[in-house]
Chains A and B, each alone.
Chain A
Amino acid sequence: MTGAKAALPVAGAALLLSVCVSVTIGVADLGAADVLRTFAAHAGLPVRGLPPLEDSIVWDLRTPRVLLAGIVGAGLAVCGAVLQALTRNPLADPYLLGISAGASTGAVAVLVLGLGAGAVALSAGAFAGGVAAFAAAVLLAGRRWTEPSRILLAGVATAQLFSALTSLVIVGQASPDTTRSVMFWLLGSLTAASWPAVALAASAGGVAVLACWAAAPALDAFAFGSDVAQTLGFSPARVRALLFAVTALLAAVLVAASGAIGFVGLIVPHAVRRLTGSRHRLLLPACALAGAVLLIWADTAARTVFAPQELPVGVVTALLGVPAFAMLLHRSGRAS
């Protein structure tokens, strides 16, 4: 019990350290002292900041990017944990309900058809696409859509439909250049990070994560079984409808910020559950912290390993995620 309770402070400290160290890493050679000076100057403390170019690298490029990575990682991990409990399916991830496919379609439509301009239009398109996909999955699943088996199947079908639409738009309209940026989007990337993006993701993500955390006892009960949850006083239809909607909106916000970054939402909950146990009151915040740390370092690797060339961060999370998954499977195989 004490080991599990120590998990949160330890992970919190790791997150703080990760943010600070990660901001110092990059092509431009800036040390911890430079970073701290920049933070202090922007906080209004009476210190002399860095020259404008360096200041901008730390404050406008790296800091929002590291923070966005943390927020997206946290959100994805919480989404995954909630959906795994709700559907009692260990393979559930944040994109279960067709969100990522829908978001890609939305983003690609904006890119290729030239609707609006810039990162804002792209994010808006992705969000709209994600929400449209969720709505389509709910419609497809019909009146009893909150039953896990129905929404799972509908989600798979919807994802296929929207992937097909994305391909159709790309093949029909795109130039090689836009195809490349579309691919980057599909694999996930935090290059579009900015302070407004951080603020938006943090506020929307914060509300959604708090809502899930408040529902922790319901998640405990549903992870055990829906009949038992019902006899403990929860309405399966209402609880599931609410939490499916919250996680779908959260996933749409995250995909709009960073594209579809795979594996974080699938693996982090499994790994964290081994450390904290399966009670969601502790599991969810631990997942948020672990997901944040993981994605911060995955993105740091993505932007530095082949610098100045950048890797899509989804490639890094997959390269890290598959061996981690294999290890978890192997371990759980031995345990039983």
Chain B
Amino acid sequence: MRVRAQDVDRRIGATTLLASVTLDAPPGSTVGLLGPNGSGKSTLLRVLAGLDRPDGGRVLLDETDRTALPRRAVARRVAVVTQHEPTEADMTVADVLLLGRIPHRPLLAPVGADDVHRVSAALDGAGLAGWERRRWASLSGGERQRVAIARALLQEPDVLLLDEPTNHLDIRHRFALLADLARAPVTVVAALHDLDLAGQYCDRIVLLAAGRVVAAGTPARVLTEESIAEVFGVGADVMPGPGGRVRILLRSLAV
């Protein structure tokens, strides 16, 4: 499924959070949203996810405006993990994961054996086998992140929208997650902080600053030593890799 944002504006009072932002994520691509704090990454993801309404412009899923699609139909194809998953919910890990099956079950139908089976398979996949009865509130930040992503995948989405999915994850799981996402036949739009990971795994990068798109394209096009210095204020060595990918070594504050 293709995801596009066309000229999206988002304001709260007099503050402009997004100004005329355009984004195109072709089917199956992995798109990284990069930018410093407050650049509008999370806001853009919330608009793409339908959690916030744009004040101008529109979001298209394939060729259709997402507001024209029934919510449940969208939930069967688009899964979202926000940055602030609740922490205090009094639920087991299995309960949290079963939420991901709701869009696929008639509303009056009970949880079936198939759902339970998928949940344990999802836990295996997340390296959390046998964690069904753990309390959600007792998990660490990284464990919660992995369960939240597993829940999103249980929706069997064509599109995954992820806000800083590697936050809280240890180094091994960061690589594993991004490698999985890049391989999966799913369209991924993820807000990321780690420039090097984004440069290695994303097909496309959208670089944001102060609610505007500064640059968009392949990592090699967008993540240059100049753009990194300008947007993030740090010096970096950018080394070209295969297929428009780059490796980035951050050095110091830019002078």
Contact B51 A217 (CB under 8 A): no
Write out the residue numbers on chain B whose beta carbons fall within 8 Å of the beta carbon of A228.
Answer: 80, 82, 85-86, 99
Contact A231 B102 (CB under 8 A): no
Contact B89 A223 (CB under 8 A): yes
Closest to A236 in B: B51
> 1/0 per residue A301-329: CB within 8 Å of B?
00000000000000000000000000000
Q: Does B108 contact A (CB under 8 A)?
A: yes
One of A19-27, A162-170, A183-191, A272-280 contacting the partner: A272-280
Contact A232 B92 (CB under 8 A): no
Q: Does B79 contact A (CB under 8 A)?
A: yes
Write out the residue numbers on chain A whose beta carbons fall within 8 Å of the beta carbon of B111.
Answer: 279, 281
Q: Does B181 contact A (CB under 8 A)?
A: no
> 1/0 per residue A248-280: CB within 8 Å of B?
000000000000000000000000010001110
Write out the residue numbers on chain B whose beta carbons fall within 8 Å of the beta carbon of A217.
Answer: 102, 105, 107
- Shortest C-beta distance, A320 to chain B (Å), equals 23
Q: Does B137 contact A (CB under 8 A)?
A: yes
Query: Which residues from 71 to 86 on chain B have a C-beta closer than 8 Å to any C-beta of chain A?
Result: 71-76, 78-80, 82, 84-86
Contact A278 B90 (CB under 8 A): yes
Write out the residue numbers on chain B whose beta carbons fall within 8 Å of the beta carbon of A277.
Answer: 91-92, 95
Contact B91 A278 (CB under 8 A): yes
- Shortest C-beta distance, B85 to chain A (Å), equals 7
- Shortest C-beta distance, A144 to chain B (Å), equals 14
Q: Does A214 contact B (CB under 8 A)?
A: yes
Contact of B99 among A214, A224, A235, A336 (CB under 8 A): A224
- Shortest C-beta distance, A293 to chain B (Å), equals 23
Contact B74 A233 (CB under 8 A): yes
Contact B103 A221 (CB under 8 A): no
Closest to B86 in A: A225
Write out the residue numbers on chain A whose beta carbons fall within 8 Å of the beta carbon of B49.
Answer: 231
- Shortest C-beta distance, B65 to chain A (Å), equals 17
Closest to B137 in A: A336
A204 to B252, CA, bound (A): 69
Closest to B157 in A: A231
Contact B99 A221 (CB under 8 A): yes
Q: Does A234 contact B (CB under 8 A)?
A: yes
Contact B98 A279 (CB under 8 A): yes
A228, A231, A233, most chain B CB atoms within 10 A? A231
Q: Does A230 contact B (CB under 8 A)?
A: yes
- Shortest C-beta distance, B33 to chain A (Å), equals 18
User: If A231-B78, A281-B110, A336-B138 touch, does A224 touch B72 (CB 8 Å cutoff)?
Assistant: no
User: If A221-B99, A278-B95, A279-B98 touch, does A214 touch B107 (CB 8 Å cutoff)?
Assistant: yes
A281 to B105, CA, bound (A): 13
Write out the residue numbers on chain A whose beta carbons fall within 8 Å of the beta carbon of B95.
Answer: 220, 277-279
User: If A224-B91, A225-B85, A225-B89 touch, does A234 touch B51 (CB 8 Å cutoff)?
Assistant: no
User: If A224-B96, A228-B99 touch, does A233 touch B91 (CB 8 Å cutoff)?
Assistant: no
Q: Does A227 contact B (CB under 8 A)?
A: yes
Write out the residue numbers on chain A whose beta carbons fall within 8 Å of the beta carbon of B79.
Answer: 231
> 1/0 per residue A228-246: CB within 8 Å of B?
1011111100000000000
- Shortest C-beta distance, A229 to chain B (Å), equals 8
A227 to B148, CA, bound (A): 13
Contact of A227 among B74, B82, B98 (CB under 8 A): B82
> 1/0 per residue B151-174: CB within 8 Å of A?
000010000000000000000000
- Shortest C-beta distance, B137 to chain A (Å), equals 7
Closest to A274 in B: B90
Contact B72 A220 (CB under 8 A): no
Q: Does B36 contact A (CB under 8 A)?
A: no
User: If A231-B49, A232-B102 touch, does A224 touch B138 (CB 8 Å cutoff)?
Assistant: no
Contact A235 B71 (CB under 8 A): yes
Write out the residue numbers on chain A whose beta carbons fall within 8 Å of the beta carbon of B244.
Answer: none
A281 to B107, CA, bound (A): 11
Contact A223 B110 (CB under 8 A): no
Query: Which residues from 82 to 118 on chain A have a C-beta closer than 8 Å to any C-beta of chain B?
Result: 88
> 1/0 per residue B54-82: CB within 8 Å of A?
00000000000000000111111011101
Q: Does B50 contact A (CB under 8 A)?
A: yes
Write out the residue numbers on chain B whose beta carbons fall within 8 Å of the beta carbon of A232.
Answer: 75, 99-100, 102-103, 155
- Shortest C-beta distance, B47 to chain A (Å), equals 13
Contact of B102 among A220, A223, A235, A336 (CB under 8 A): A220
- Shortest C-beta distance, B15 to chain A (Å), equals 19
5 pairs across A/B with beta carbons < 8 Å?
A223-B91, A233-B72, A277-B95, A278-B90, A281-B110
Interface residues, chain A, with chain B CB atoms under 8 Å away: 88, 214, 217-218, 220-221, 223-225, 227-228, 230-235, 273, 277-279, 281, 336
Given known contacts A221-B102, A233-B72, what 12 new A-B pairs fall within 8 Å (CB)? A88-B86, A220-B98, A223-B91, A224-B86, A225-B89, A227-B51, A227-B84, A231-B80, A232-B100, A232-B102, A278-B91, A279-B111
4 tightest CB-CB pairs across the interface, nearest first?
Answer: A233-B75, A233-B72, A231-B80, A225-B86
